[in-house]
Amino acid sequence: MAIVVGVRFKEAGKVYNFDPIGLDFELGEKVVVETARGIECGEVAAEPADVPESEIVKPLKKIIRKATKEDIAKLEENKKKEAEALEICEKKIEKHGLGMKLVDVEYTLDGSKILFYFTADGRVDFRELVKDLAGVFHTRIELRQIGVRDEAKMLGGLGICGRPFCCSTYIDDLQSVSISIKMAKEQGLSLNPTKISGTCGRLMCCLKYEQESYEHLLRVTPKVGAIVNTREGKGVVSDVNLLTGMLKVTLDRNPNAAPISVHRHDVNIIKDTKIKVEKAELEALKGIE
């Protein structure tokens, strides 16, 4: 076991573990740490706690110090400089005629590096741009290409539900969406791309929220095509409402009659089926993965 403290650098950003060097920290307290990007100022998101060694990403870096008034002032100054750097870089991109969209700019706390985040359809040769920017700012320059989901997380906005993006306000680490198509099908959602894509054009992150509940319901509820026994005889499930537990069952003894409605608690499963995502469905949704 080792004692670690969780630190995040952006609102709803990923929480990283650091060695608290024997100090006590409170939630929301500003701390100065060294990261792969340089010296940064973050916020305590998880108080010191014992964590198994197996869960720690090594090497575990130490917190340098609690943020001072000077550190906080420097942080505010950097925010103003980031806005200026964004404007300068956009003009330089236009000057060089590069097919890229600048999304965000970040200064490290000590000003030893400036990171420019951008999106582009493909690879971009930005070597001349880096030289140009280094000549203006006289510090290390790093350009980092990001995806549209990261762009949405950085910029924020309103989702189709009318609320702020989950990724910019709640989700601290973007999950892989490779299983989202299966989740959508298990939740009984339409596989129409316009129905299950977020503002960023990718599969909605919020599909993950209720998946655990749906997985439980799928374990205890017969699926469409399942063979079940009811009080009125054996039949095949033709429709399922997972949330209410109501099933429509076509009875073997009268297949041309309207299906009967019955609750999942009132049937015995003889043979269940599995929910599968067909190749054609995957192909149709390939663009939003």
**Distance between CA atoms of 194 and 203, rounded to whole angstroms?**
10
Region(s) of the chain under CATH 3.30.300: 73-146
CATH of region 224-271, choose from 2.30.30, 2.40.30, 2.60.40, 3.10.530: 2.30.30
pLDDT band, very low/low/confident/very high, at 65 (cuts 50, 70, 90): very high
Q: How many other CB atoms sit within 10 Å of the CB of residue 157?
A: 12
Instruction: Give the model confidence (pLDDT) of 162-209 as tens digits.
Output: 888 888 887 766 655 556 677 877 888 777 777 788 888 888 888 777
**Which of 22-26, 56-60, 163-167, 260-264 has the highest mean predicted lDDT (pLDDT)?**
260-264
Q: What is the CATH number of domain 73-146?
A: 3.30.300
Residues 59-96 as b/e (b if ≥16 CB within 10 A, e otherwise) read eebebbeebeeebeebbeebeeebeebeeebeebbeee
Q: What is the pLDDT of residue 180?
A: 66
pLDDT greater at residue 147 or residue 178: 147
Q: Tell me the pTM.
A: 0.73
Domain limits, CATH 2.30.30, in the chain: 224-271
pLDDT at 258 (0 to 100): 94
Enumerate residues 6+ apart whose C-beta is below 8 A from 100: 93, 118, 119, 120, 124, 126, 145
